[in-house]
């Protein structure tokens, strides 16, 4: 009996394993905080690049008087370059440019719309089947931009961001998107020629 009491007393006084137990409790929390900070900062950086890509494409198109597929391929390829060093594939990056004509009654209709997918730095331009010519898009444009008898160049960029924790936990993808409106600079309209 005396020996067992002595053993229990010695066990209670022994502090050698306390640090290991505390470490075991704190490490998972610290790892969650670390990867959470990395994912958050990466998401903010990618979101900023999506904004810059949308502005770049819209700005380049608005500087022209007319565009053709070769021009748009270059503009969309530059949009993909803006996303460097993040992975750009046909599933991660979606880019779209639309010219919207606003008539005298402030009704906005699509003049032309193109989409692109970028693979290995090469952009493949196609007609935007979701936004056909003459589609009315007045409700999708901010009211203060609906100026009678003008045109808007509307770019939309979406990037599917997969955080580090998404690779570990499965298919957690965060879609980041941006849209930008600019007015043509060199002429009243930017026409599309095939």
pLDDT for 35-49, tens place per residue?
888 888 888 999 999
pLDDT for the residue numbered 171: 60
CA 36 from chain centre, in angstroms, equals 19
% of residues, the chain, pLDDT over 90? 49
> Domain coordinates of the chain in residue numbers?
16-192
pLDDT for 120-137, tens place per residue?
778 888 888 887 888 888
Q: How confident is the model at residue 146 (pLDDT cuts 50, 70, 90)?
A: very high
Contacts 24+ apart (CB under 8 A), 121-127: 121/77, 121/80, 121/81, 122/73, 122/77, 123/72, 123/73, 123/74, 123/75, 123/76, 123/77, 123/79, 123/80, 123/95, 124/73, 125/69, 125/72, 125/73, 125/76
Q: Which residue has the higher pLDDT, 156 or 14?
A: 156
Rounded Cα distance between 150 and 104, Å, is: 9
φ, ψ of residue 70 in degrees (nearest 5) = -60, -40
pLDDT for 70-97, tens place per residue?
999 999 999 999 998 988 888 899 999 9
Beta strands in 25-90 (DSSP E): 66-67
Rounded Cα distance between 179 and 40, Å, is: 22
Pairing of strands 93-102, 108-119: antiparallel
């Amino acid at each position: 009996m005396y020996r067992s009491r002595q053993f229990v007393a010695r066990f209670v006084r022994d502090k050698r394993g306390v640090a290991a137990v505390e470490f075991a409790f704190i490490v998972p929390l610290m790892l969650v905080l670390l990867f959470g900070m990395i994912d958050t900062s990466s998401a903010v950086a990618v979101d900023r690049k999506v904004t810059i890509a949308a502005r770049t494409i819209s700005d380049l198109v608005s500087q022209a008087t007319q565009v053709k597929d070769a021009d748009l391929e270059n503009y969309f390829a530059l949009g993909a370059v803006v996303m460097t060093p993040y992975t750009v594939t046909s599933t991660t990056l979606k880019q779209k440019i639309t010219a919207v004509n606003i008539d005298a009654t402030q009704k906005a209709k699509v003049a032309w719309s193109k989409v692109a997918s970028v693979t290995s730095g090469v952009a493949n331009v196609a007609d935007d089947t979701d936004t056909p010519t003459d589609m009315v898009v007045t409700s999708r444009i901010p009211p203060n931009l609906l100026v009678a008898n003008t045109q808007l160049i509307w770019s939309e960029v979406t990037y599917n961001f997969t955080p580090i924790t998404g690779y570990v936990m499965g298919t957690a993808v965060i879609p980041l998107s941006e849209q930008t409106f600019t007015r043509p600079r060199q002429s009243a309209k930017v026409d599309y020629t095939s």
